Structure 1
Amino acid sequence: MKLDILAIGAHPDDVELSCAGTLIKETTKGKRVGVVDLTQGELGTRGNAETRTEEARQAAEIMGLAMRQNLKFRDGFFQNDEAHQLEIIKLIRKYQPEIVFCNAIHDRHIDHSKGSQLVGDACFLSGLRKIETIDDSKSQEVWRPKHVYHYIQWYDITPDVVVDISGYINQKVEAVKAYKTQFFDPTNKEPKTPISSQNFLDSVTYRARDLGRIIGVDHAEGFTVERYAAVDSIFDLI
């Protein structure tokens, strides 16, 4: 099953918070989009691996994903090493995405920057023919995505690319709210966290609105790039 976009996050909800609007927009247009979560978010203060798995399933339905998979790396302790890289290389070669989205290059949570580097390195290595991988007892063909984009998370990183998600913000917020254990709920008696406040939940919308303001639309999401994005004509830029 070839994908147009593969979005990868260190934890279930990373993708929803950061680039769900872009994913929903593309699935609505008929693109095949998948999500891979590196960990189950089992070290999170609120909820647990089981509740997070169910929440991720619900969010996947809202976003219209073609697939979602969890690699069950150790939350907080996965490394950017050969073993972890090979697992991601297998997925890249299996799904052959044209575009990969991954974590912010620098962020408050240590797993985000680790995940960013891990996925970026795996995307490069996936194109090397002398790295052999096997899936379902068959040798895989090499594949390197055309583009790797890093979404923006906690920190206000200046984007290189901004995507208009006007008309999709409500569906994005709905996908975020699927993670009932993680975000604002006045009835939840678990300890408060930096992401469980009303202000944080509101920030999903007001940060998208602010990026939209900059490019003259209602709502937008931003990404940074590892290499320049090229266009055939200057008129391809709007």
Structure 2
Amino acid sequence: MKVDILAIGAHPDDVELGCGGTIAKLISEGRTVAVIDLTEGELGTRGTNITRAQEAAEASSILKISARENLKMKDGFLLNNEEHQLKIVKMIRKYQPNIVLGNAVEDRHPDHGKAAKLISDACFLSGLIKIETEHDGMPQDAWRPKQVFHYIQWKNLEPDFVVDISDFMDVKLQACMAYKTQFYDPKSDEPMTPIATKDFQESLTYRAQDLGRLSGVQFAEGFTTERLLALKNFDGIIL
């Protein structure tokens, strides 16, 4: 099942928060997108791994992604080792994306930075023909994505480029708020967390608005790159 873009997150909701608007835009343009969650987010203060899975399914429906899988790695204790690398390699070879979107290279949650390096290493290893993997009993071909981009999460990292999501901000917010147990709910009696505050919910809009201000659009999402980007032409630039 080949897709154009494979978005990977350490926890269910990472992808929606970091690049939900970009995903919605790409899909509206006819691109195919699959999502891989590395953990079930089972250490989250609010909700459970069961409610998180239900919320991820609802968010997936809102974004209209083609497929979503959870690798069930250990939340809070991600390791960049052979076992975890090969799990991601199998997903990359299964979906054969041209572009991979991964966690922020540096962030408040230690899993995010760990996942960023784990994803990057797996993307490289996936292209090595002497690493043999199987899926459903069938050998997989080597596959290396052409680009690996990292979305921005809690920390205000300096983006290498932004994507205009002005027409898809509402979809992004709907997908994020599908995680009802995780985010602001004045009626909830669960413990308060930094991401469950009203300020965090509002930050989704004003941070995208600020990147839009800096780039001349209404709303934008920022990404960092692992290598220098070359433009084919100037057609995609908003002037």
Give the 5 Å matches for 1:34-183.
Answer: 34-183=34-183
Cα offset for 1:148?
A: 0.2
Identity %: 58
* Aligned residue in 1 for 2:224: 224
Matches of 1:190 and 1:42, distance apart in 2: 15
DSSP-derived class of the 2:162 partner: strand
> Which one-letter code corresponds to 1:44 in the other structure?
G
Return the alpha-carbon distance in structure 2 between the equivalents of residues 234 and 167 of structure 1: 21
Partner of 1:26: 26
Secondary structure of the structure 1 residue equivalent to 2:69: strand
User: How far has the Cα of 1:136 moved from its partner?
Assistant: 1.5
Mark the CA change 1:227 to 1:40 in structure 2 (over 3 Å): closer, same or farther.
same
Q: Report the Cα distance in structure 2 between the residues aligned to 1:133 and 1:82, rounded to whole angstroms.
A: 12
**Amino acid aligned to 2:69:** Q
Deviations 1:134-156 (A, max 9, x none): 11111111100010000000000
Tell me the secondary structure at the aligned position of residue 6 of structure 2: strand
Q: Which runs of 5+ in 1 are unaligned?
A: none
Find the aligned partners of 2:152 and 2:236 in 1 and give their Cα distance: 24
**Aligned-CA RMSD value:** 0.9
* CA distance in structure 1 between the aligned counterparts of 2:124 and 2:84, rounded to whole angstroms: 14
**Where does structure 2 lack aligned partners over 5 or more consecutive residues?**
none
The 2-side partners of 1:119 and 1:27 are apart by 22
- How far off is 1:232 after superposition? 2.8
Query: Normalising by structure 1, what TM-score?
Result: 0.98
SS at match of 1:20: helix
Shift of 1:56: 0.2
The alignment partner of 2:224 has SS state of strand
Partner deviation per Cα, 1:50-95 (whole Å, 9 max, x = no partner): 0000000000000000000000001011200000000000000010
Q: Aligned equivalents of 2:232 and 2:105: distance in 1?
A: 28
Structure 1 residue 224: Cα displacement: 0.1
Rounded to whole Å, the distance in 2 between the matches of 1:136 and 1:11 is 25
Per-residue Cα deviation, 1:113-154 (whole angstroms, up to 9, x for no partner)? 010000000000000111111111111111000100000000
Q: Distance in 1 between matches of 2:131 and 2:108?
A: 33
Asked if 1:193 corresponds to 2:190, the answer is no
